[in-house]
Chain A
Amino acid sequence: MVLVVNETFDDSSHEDAGHPERPDRLVAARTAIDDLHLDEDLVVVPAHSATREELVRVHIGNYLDELSAYCYSGGGDIDQDTYATLNSFTIAKYAAGSGLAVIDELQRRNDGVGFVAARPPGHHALADRAMGFCLLNNVAVAAAALRSQGERVLIVDWDVHHGNGTQQIFWDVPEVLYVSTHQWPLFPGTGSVNEVGGRHATDRTVNIPLPPGATGDIVRRGIDEMAGPVIDAFDPTWVLVSAGFDAHREDPMADLRLTSGDFALMARGVSDYAPQPGRLVMFLEGGYDLDALRSSIHASLSAALGQTYDGESPSNGGPGTEQIERMRQARRSTIELLHTSDDEESTR
């Protein structure tokens, strides 16, 4: 099976001294890809800068204008976490567009696995606001493009933080199913199990909040037991992954205890949700310890390509087991309640 990745674009000028979301992260990602020694099975597609038409499917035009003006006037801090520089808008458009180029190539081949090595990350970016290191929502731009082609898109977000931007953008969109595992409580404060989607898309958001210290076995059980039946019923035609690697135990940004072996198992798991080869794309989100990032990307791609991964063993034994059944019930009652109030409304 081939690995389709985007060509690198020069992201070196999107940086802020001492900021953890830094250009070296992409160097680690490229090393991870090189370590796979794929030779002719590695397909590099030209990076693509997202057009306005592609971006306005998820972002409001005013926000794009403001962000562009802000960057071209020199940039600066957008909030306590998020920065922009002179070139950030240009770089962010490449990050948002490269997923589309990878998807095009996969559609042409009907084979392979896609990986979008790009930054800044995207899953916190809202329709009208930058936050949490994110300017444009890369995975959302890709999902929206697929949706416009009539596809049903599953987004699995295993970054340690909740992807509030992605959830918001597809909150009431029945053609996109958003599944997130994340540490809770933690930034950005959203992602409770009771957030299940809007009126037209009840059940299309699945949140799996996990306690600090949770290990890979719990994360996988959460996905299998809470999201599995929903995914089966949804029957996706495409699978996109918001692949952040900050749930790794070495990552300084959070307190989950995953290993690269866990990411291998999760990548294998999401591949099984894709209906055929050439329908799975992973998008780099977080991951701030460079060694952990490299080994975790390597593990994920190996597994998605069907290779064996013999690095760090998967982790288990952390807290959260007893929580999963409780979360499943809480989710079910929330959905029942929403349906009941809908029924009452319609009989009124």
Chain B
Amino acid sequence: MTEPIIAIRDLRKTFRSGEVDVHALRGVDLTVEHGEFLAIVGPSGSGKSTLFNILGGLTPPTSGTVIIDGQDLMKLSDSGRTNLRKKTVGFVFQKYNLLPTLTVGDNIEIARDIAGFKGPLDQQFRDVIETLGIADKMDRKPRQLSGGEQQRVAIARSVVNHPAILLADEPTGNLDTENSTLVLDLMRSLNKKLGQTILMITHNPEAAAFADRIVHMRDGHLHAAA
């Protein structure tokens, strides 16, 4: 048995906003195996994004254990979490989050530059670009692309450094049905062809159905699908 890529035990996160404590995560347990495609569904405010932000090192956990690809997040410093974002996790957001002044190609290049990768793109990634259907859009600026195209660029950017896990927070939230299906298909093919581990947050049961496994989040707790 190989180690799970993500092992979470009793993870808690408390935000202090003014005088009140907001308990966003109240003891989350989750294990994700290599190559899994997991969907997380749940009502607004239940703590889904908070979980992702912790997994992606954007914010530190309050208590509990989080092991990602062998690294204990509780023990990581600020710069440790920065390094986690460079190579271990890739983010896809609802709002695409491409840099508006850079071309598609440069948006991908800058992710490599930040992670310290140089030289030409590897063949596997060039196949990904082909699969995503953005190979002919490399010289365009984000505003010259449709939402679906922008999200496919964001997916390409998130996997260019071959991260251990891909975290997609409502990747189809801003897309119409047709584009949603396209993006979800592409994520599934990344998962199946390359064995990319993917965690995806969604509100949409149809989108969740693209995943291998679905978990529910409610009031800061995770439950296996009924």
Do A and B form a real pair? no
Show the binding face of B for A, using Cβ within 8 Å.
Answer: none
Show the binding face of A for B, using Cβ within 8 Å.
Answer: none
